[in-house]
A and B are shown apart, each in its own frame.
Chain A
Amino acid sequence: MAVLPVYEVFARAKHDEPLRHVGSVNAADDELAKAYAWTLYDEESWIEMCVVRREAIVPITEHGKVPVWGN
């Protein structure tokens, strides 16, 4: 069985707050990811919502590891 891509979902409810990560969805393409994100994470009246394929995210730190120089 094919594994569907994971999309990370970001949203904000007010103009003066930053986009924040609200969850993720599995979807076959961008359009389905948009529909799934909008219908699944509907706990707020978002003024902005977007999705990004997890594989498109460029990591700076290794997963779960704190940089050696702190903070």
Chain B
Amino acid sequence: MIRWLAPGALAGLLLVAGPVVVHLLARRHARRTMFPATQFVRATQAAAVRLRRPTDLGLLALRLAIVTAAVLAAAQPLLVTRWRLAQWNARVSRAVIVDTSSSMPSPEMASRLAAQETAGAFRSRRIDTPDLRDGLARAKTWIASAPPSRREVVIISDFQRGAIDRDSLAPLAADVGIRLVRAGAGPAERSASLTAVDFWRGARWQPSAVVDDAGTRARWERDGSGEGLSWLEVLAAPADAAAAERAKRAAASFGVPAGDDSRRVLVVFAGGEYGALIARTVEAAWMVEAARSLHESDLLRDAGIRVTVEARDGRLGVRAPIAASSSNATAVLRAVMLAVRPAAIASPELETLTIPDAELAAWRRDPAPLTQRDLGRLDESDGRWLWALALVLLGVETWARRRRTTTPAVEAEADAA
């Protein structure tokens, strides 16, 4: 069976018409030479000679063969023999996904296992990622471009529950093998401090979480009175100044995630002005993220308010088209607080449960042998032999062309007697 790596090049077979046309129609330049016996030479009409037949069928055949060989070589044919198929099946291309998430109990062990997996492969790619799903997507892309060989994806992880599931593996082709190698066991219990919350019940509260096989336990501890709200400035019409202050306190009473005071915000209600602050392009990452969050805010959507965002001398400016005395002013300010200081949620890395070995074993499958139909990306061809043939034929054609004008068809013997 022949596979063509560049089948589009076969369109070049139309080029074989070139030599035929040249032989049939092209008027070669007639060279002039002295010849004393012209009285015996019959003059021929050049056009009639051209159209009658090709002048040299052997040479034409050679030229056709050269063009054909070159075109076929450009199409990069690959003869898929049983022997070649067996050679390909004897090798494995392997994508090794190494879980680098913080939950991994022993990164060194994972590295060592990855080295072992890549060492025996024909081609291999190590993919370090904290997100196994992302690693699977990258592995799928790479392995699709692997040369003909059996293909396999190896995942080295602690396999926290939720890190991966059967659906995550579904996009991999059916012939791609899957192996899941567990790299050590995590601790029986994990704990973490979460983002503190200011102003809830008039104080600062520090939440913490403890996760073990039994479940998750959260603990809130009072920790002082919390930071001020100096990072949030409200600008409103002078008549609404008191209302603006009330709205600010009301919004803060829900609790404000503690954060960096460098993120300063100006909220401008109707009647308020930025003053001399210079407008600038929103470039800081936190401002972009806050703008996105405001755009998607459920609070604003429910209130039917659209705010505009801009940068003003290093501050995030948020202009709301309502007065500070409006009942929705608190919703605007609350949305701004959550957008600028997003609350951290508990990391899935705290999970202590892992996917059972039996489940991992059920997901495992061996790489399927290659078939004539599905060879993957072919990276070699037999075109070089056709190129060599074309070169040899070119040499023969040159030799024949030089010899043609000097070879008599019949050698008449001199009659010396």
Our verdict on whether A and B bind, yes or no, reads no
